[in-house]
Structure formats: C-alpha cells, structure tokens
A and B are shown apart, each in its own frame.
Chain A
C-alpha cells in the first residue's frame, strides 16, 4: 500500500491522459477537462503547505532571535494581514489591489530589470576568446546584439542582414537540434517516471 499503490496511481493517471488525448471515443468522454480541473484543484490546495513552511521557518527564527528576526516578524505580519484581507475582499478589493499594483508590481518589475545588470557582467566575464569555440559563441552574440539595435545598421548597412542570416540558418538549425533532443529526452523521462523506474520520492532510482 505504501509503495505499490502510489505507483499504480501514477500509471493510471498517465494512461488516462494519454488515452483520452489519442482515442476519439475516450476523448469525447471529456476526461481531459475533468483531469485538468482536478489537478488544478490539488495544486491550489497545496499552497497551504507553502504558508505553513513560511510560518514554521520564520516563526522559529523569531523564537530563536536569529539574526534578522525582525524581518521575519514583518514577513509574517504582512503575509497574514495581506492574505486575510484578500480572503475578505478578494484580490480585486480596492486596498488589496492597490498594494499589489503599487508595491508588489513595481518591485517585481525592478527585479526583472535587474537582469540587465547581471547580463552585462555575465557577458563581460564569460565572452573571452579562450578557445575557438568560445570565440564562435562570442562573435554570434555580438553580431546579434549590435544588429538588434539601430546602431548596427548605422555602422554598416548590411549588419541587419547578417543578423537575420545567423538567426535564420545556424540559430534555427542549432535550436532545432536541441529541441528535437529535448523532446526525445522528455519522452524517455516521462516514460521512466510512468514505469516507476524513477521514483526518488518513494525511495530509490532504478529498476529494482
């Protein structure tokens, strides 16, 4: 019951999806829609685990007076205050939405924008002519980079054409090779999981 039944559940769930996608009459039973809703529901219910985890970890930090425990106090106060407010007013409630739009969203967008800094330092550090392979990658990146801003064509009229050529021929072909492989690897992984060959959460990897 502790190992075999979960493995059976895995196979049944996987087969239900596969059969209803491929076979006409099963498709028309509408299982897929039901399974989608079921899985969404399970996924939504799981978020409570996240709240419990945050509460336990930060609760313990506060109890121990660990370094920075006052941030943990803020975290728990905001989490519960904001969460309960949302449960009362829904996320469309005026105050709930205001906080989201004016505090959360700008910080979120700023973090996304921080990548501009990181991408610059990453390029500076990584793109060195160490080996000829690294040089090829560097050249491709720089041609595309300058070609995607108007500056490229301002320097040399054909820059945009070279950029398009790289994107259309080697880039598309290389990505195609990567993607085809990813599909194959994904199928193999999904199959291993379905067959119970990979089940680290039940203990053990492998055929035994």
Chain B
C-alpha cells in the first residue's frame, strides 16, 4: 500500500492533523480549523433544520392539509427575534416561558415512571444469588441515599457512619465509571490513528 490519492482521504487526514496540532499548542492552523468547524456545523444545521422541521410543516401540514394551528408555534418562535427591537423585546419572553413550561411539564410527566422503576429495582431478593452480595448491595443503596440528605441532621452517629459509607460507595461507583470509559475514548482515538496510518499513509494493511 502507498499514500492515498483520493482527495477525500487527504481532506479528512489533514483535518485530523489540524485538530491534533492543538495537543502541542494553540496555533494558527488549529484556529482556522476551529472556525471552519463552527461554520460548517452551523451551515449544515440551518438547512437541515429547515428541511426537517420547518419546510414539511409549512408545505405539507399547513398548506397541504390545512392545519393552520401551526401558526401559533411559528409566531411564538418568531417572537424570539423581537429581542433585537428594544421597545418590544419583552415579547421574546413568551416563547421562552412556553418552552420552559413544556420542559418542566415533560420532566414531571415522563420521569415518575422510570423513577418508580428504579425504586422497585432496588427491592432486594436475598433468595436469589449470593446472600452476602445481596446484603451488601442493599446496604450500599441505602447508604448512598443517606449521603445526599440535604436538610436532615447527620449528627446521630448512625447517620454519620451511613453517610460516610455512602460516600465511599459513591466514590467507588464514580471511579468504576471513570475506569470503564477510558478504553472507549482510546478506541475513538485509535480509530483516527488507524485512518491516518492506513487509509492516508498506507503504512499498515
């Protein structure tokens, strides 16, 4: 194998090197890449949002099927732009509050069920599997819960110990999650490295 001739591979490889150059230090090439990246991401999203969310609604649903109620969110969305006209800029608060309310309602409506799912999943059955493990699991969950108490006094020694133990459990969980992610991040880097060595430079088969 030898070095690539495809302009697409060159473009991809040079882009990769431009980003890697930041690891040495901030430099003009990285700065250029960074600005191009922002421009491309936005320049991709505008048409994508338009053709995925706006165009079909106007063309098919409003004009095609006569669902004129869509005027409401469109007007609300456009009200965001009143912020550039100082005298009526307060109108921009309408879409904000509607959107925020939708978000708050959505959280309350859709998370109660998974929350209860987590509660019932914490019911430990000592009959299934290793009793020592099950008991430890049970104690770990309860201690972790105690750790987070905000307004309940932990002066009582039992609460204090439980909270301390809960902290340890949480730190183990966080450490484990860290250790578990390292290799995934490496895989992503190795994927790029392989691209450069194989597709571009042709050093490995």
Q: Are A42 and B95 in contact (CB under 8 A)?
A: yes
Q: Tell me how far the C-beta of B186 lies from the nearest C-beta in chain A, rounded to whole angstroms.
A: 5
List chain B residues, Cβ under 8 A from A172. Answer: 137, 173
Q: Are A115 and B40 in contact (CB under 8 A)?
A: no
List chain B residues, Cβ under 8 A from A72. Answer: 35
List chain A residues, Cβ under 8 A from B140. Answer: 169-170, 173-174, 177
Interface residues on B, range: 35 or more
Q: Are B99 and A41 in contact (CB under 8 A)?
A: no
From A105, A117, A140, A181, give the contact of B148 (CB < 8 A).
Answer: A181
Q: Are A194 and B104 in contact (CB under 8 A)?
A: yes
List chain A residues, Cβ under 8 A from B70. Answer: 37-38, 41
Interface residues on A, range: 35 or more
Bound CA–CA A149/B180 (angstroms): 10
Bound CA–CA A133/B119 (angstroms): 27
Q: Are B47 and A39 in contact (CB under 8 A)?
A: no
Give the dominant DSSP class at B's interface.
helix
B101 contacts the other chain (CB 8 A): yes
Bound CA–CA A165/B177 (angstroms): 13
From B81, B102, B104, B175, give the contact of A140 (CB < 8 A).
Answer: B175
List chain A residues, Cβ under 8 A from B177. Answer: 171, 175
> Most chain-B CB neighbours within 10 Å: which of A10, A90, A143, A186?
A10
Q: Are A144 and B76 in contact (CB under 8 A)?
A: no
List chain B residues, Cβ under 8 A from A120. Answer: 182
Bound CA–CA A143/B18 (angstroms): 35
Bound CA–CA A141/B70 (angstroms): 51
Bound CA–CA A104/B190 (angstroms): 18
Q: Are B171 and A103 in contact (CB under 8 A)?
A: no
Q: Are A2 and B93 in contact (CB under 8 A)?
A: yes
Q: Are B179 and A143 in contact (CB under 8 A)?
A: yes
List chain B residues, Cβ under 8 A from A18. Answer: 105, 108-109
Bound CA–CA A148/B99 (angstroms): 42
Known: A107-B15, A109-B191, A136-B175. A144 touches B100 (CB 8 A): no
From A13, A123, A189, give the contact of B178 (CB < 8 A).
Answer: A123
Q: Are B8 and A102 in contact (CB under 8 A)?
A: yes
Residues of A within 8 A of B (CB): 2, 5-7, 9-18, 20-22, 34-35, 37-52, 54, 68, 71-72, 74-83, 85-87, 90-91, 96, 98-117, 119-120, 123, 133-134, 136-145, 148-149, 165-181, 183-184, 186-187, 189-191, 193-194, 201-202
Q: 3 tightest CB-CB pairs across the interface, nearest first? A: A177-B144, A174-B173, A86-B47
Known contacts A116-B189, A178-B148; 19 further A-B pairs (Cβ under 8 A): A2-B90, A5-B94, A10-B104, A14-B105, A44-B49, A47-B49, A78-B36, A86-B47, A103-B36, A110-B15, A113-B188, A115-B188, A119-B182, A137-B172, A148-B179, A169-B133, A169-B137, A177-B140, A190-B107
